[in-house]
């Protein structure tokens, strides 16, 4: 297994720019020291009952798709960097074998410009203790300097729905580092981590968006504090100076002293951690799923050029060829094991009537679509004529309901002929705002 970190900027006492307030951004709050050690629970309680005592902080989080971002110049009080995915074997963007190879540079820019930092691990649903050790081994140089975080969400996570998985991961991280991590999840997934605040002294970081409109930092994000969370991610469409792409923006409900208590609850020095590096495994050449990247591109995960070009890197031309083929309606396939079916990928603005007409396969009602309703199709989906049950590529579909994803609108979901009926059916009125994770019927 090829480890490209340990992400170590230096040891305690060395002049590595750790928390030295150089390049103070405009949102930075004065530093206050807490002499008495507090647990994460006590921090959360003090924020809940005396919010005026702490000045909230603004910041953003980045992943393997923000390769090259200059964290020193993009304004923030804190920057959170994705460092590890699963326990290896994951590639894409800056990722190589599950490790963000740009993380050291991203964190150095933030630290040397006076920002607080956090590092997160993206859960993939493998053995939780193994993933915890993979994470700790990679970030050992930042333990007690940066907040440790678990990214617990549904995408690419085979353990989603298992409430014990994040608890086991958190216990192993605490055993190895002495730090109680913060747990990130979407609001609709909170039920899986609810109680970890008191059980394990873990802070909770909630993601919930009111709209997907482009925004800068917000003073009072929608629903902030509704879960008693320590931090809220309120958009994935943030716009900040110094970066042309979109960013996840967050509000931390506390000041720098509170942040540092999550990173180093007992004022420990540089971590002396046990050797948790897994036994090296034979490595194989990385494989890239271009079709999956094309689906994410159509969904808008990588934004527009130049951010899209930067995120896709060497895969840009191949992925865009697939995207253009799909959106031109030329993506015709015959699924293996179902030779009687004729399938196409839905293009932007398509209707089943239009698809049936141009392919000569009528009536439209003879086509199979993911939602079961031929009036409800989305760009990037595969629809089939001849009895095949198609699977959704670009949207989350639950029987006859639709779970909203970021960037969608009633028009994009139901089309020009169906969105008004959908609004009436779901009790929506002007300006017809819908939210990610909302269930439409």
Residue 284's SS3 state is coil
| Distance of alpha carbon 241 from the chain centroid | 21
| Vertex 16: Cα angle to 11 and 18 (nearest 5) | 90
pLDDT one digit per residue (tens) for the chain, 441 residues: 333 455 544 333 332 222 223 233 333 333 333 333 333 333 343 333 333 345 799 999 999 889 999 999 999 999 999 999 999 988 888 999 999 999 999 999 999 999 999 999 999 999 999 999 999 999 999 999 999 999 999 988 999 999 999 999 999 999 999 999 999 999 999 999 999 999 999 999 999 999 889 999 999 999 999 999 999 999 999 999 999 999 999 999 999 999 999 999 888 765 556 555 444 444 454 567 787 787 777 767 777 777 777 777 778 888 888 877 766 554 444 444 434 457 777 776 678 887 877 777 778 788 888 777 787 777 667 788 764 333 333 333 333 456 676 667 777 777 666 777 777 777 777 667 777 667 677
pTM of the model: 0.55
The predicted pLDDT at position 386 comes to 65
Residues 6+ apart with CB under 8 A from 239: 214, 215, 216, 246, 247
Cβ proximity of 37 and 267 under 8 Å: yes
Give CA–CA dist 34/337, Å, rounded: 65
Are residues 254 and 54 in contact, defined by beta-carbon separation less than 8 angstroms?
yes
| Spatial contact of 104 and 66, defined as CB atoms under 8 Å apart | no
Residue 136 and residue 276 in contact, taking contact as beta carbons nearer than 8 Å = yes
Beta-bridge mates of residue 215: 238
Task: Yes or no: say if 155 and 192 are a contact pair by the CB < 8 Å rule.
Answer: no
Please compute, for residue 266, the number of CA atoms within 13 A of its CA located in the half-sphere on the CB side.
8
Q: What are phi and psi of 364, to 5 degrees?
A: -60, -30
CA 99 vs CA 47, 273, 345: distances in Å: 34, 19, 33
- Give the burial class of 179: count Cβ atoms within 10 A of its Cβ; 0-12 exposed, 13-18 middle, 19 or more buried: buried
Q: Write b or e for each residue in 279-308: b if 16 or more Cβ atoms lie within 10 A of its Cβ, otherwise e.
A: eeeeeeeeeeeeeebbbbbbbbbbbeeebb
């Amino acid at each position: 297994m090829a480890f490209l970190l340990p992400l170590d900027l230096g040891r305690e006492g060395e002049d590595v720019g750790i928390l030295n307030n150089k390049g103070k951004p405009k949102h930075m709050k004065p530093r206050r020291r807490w002499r008495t050690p507090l647990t994460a629970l006590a921090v959360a309680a003090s924020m809940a009952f005396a919010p005026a005592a702490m000045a909230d902080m603004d910041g953003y989080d980045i992943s393997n798709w923000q390769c090259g971002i200059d964290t020193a110049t993009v304004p923030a009080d804190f920057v959170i960097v994705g460092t590890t995915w699963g326990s290896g074997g994951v590639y894409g963007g800056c990722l190589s074998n599950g490790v963000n190879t740009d993380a050291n540079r991203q964190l150095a820019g933030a630290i040397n410009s006076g920002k607080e930092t956090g590092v997160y691990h993206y859960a993939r649903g493998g053995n939780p203790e193994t993933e915890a050790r993979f994470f700790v081994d990679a970030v050992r140089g930042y333990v007690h300097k940066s907040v440790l975080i678990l990214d617990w969400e549904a995408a690419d996570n085979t353990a989603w729905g298992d409430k014990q998985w994040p608890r086991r991961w958190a216990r192993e991280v605490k055993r190895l580092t002495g730090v109680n991590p913060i747990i990130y999840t979407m609001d609709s997934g909170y039920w899986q981590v609810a109680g970890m605040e008191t059980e394990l002294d873990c802070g909770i970081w909630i993601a919930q968006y009111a709209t997907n409109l482009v925004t800068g930092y917000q003073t009072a994000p929608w629903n902030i504090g509704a879960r008693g969370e320590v931090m809220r991610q309120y958009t994935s469409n943030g716009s900040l100076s110094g970066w042309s792409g979109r960013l996840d923006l967050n509000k931390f409900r506390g000041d720098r002293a509170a942040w540092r208590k999550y990173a180093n609850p007992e004022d420990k020095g540089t971590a002396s951690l046990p050797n948790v590096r897994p036994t090296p495994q034979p490595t194989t050449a990385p494989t890239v799923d271009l079709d999956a990247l094309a689906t994410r591109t159509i969904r808008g995960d990588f934004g527009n050029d130049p951010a899209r070009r930067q995120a896709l890197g060497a895969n840009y031309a191949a992925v865009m060829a697939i995207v253009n083929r799909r959106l031109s309606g030329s993506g015709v396939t015959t699924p293996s094991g179902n030779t009687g079916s004729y399938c196409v990928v839905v293009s932007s603005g398509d209707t089943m009537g239009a698809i049936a007409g141009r392919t000569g396969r009528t009536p439209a009602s003879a086509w199979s679509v993911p939602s079961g309703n031929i009036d409800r199709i989305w760009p990037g989906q595969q629809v089939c004529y001849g009895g095949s049950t198609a699977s959704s590529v670009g949207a989350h579909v639950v029987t006859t309901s639709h779970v909203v994803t970021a960037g969608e609108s009633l028009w994009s979901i139901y089309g020009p002929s169906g969105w008004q009926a959908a609004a009436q059916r779901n009790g929506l009125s002007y300006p017809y705002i819908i939210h990610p994770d909302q269930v439409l019927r």
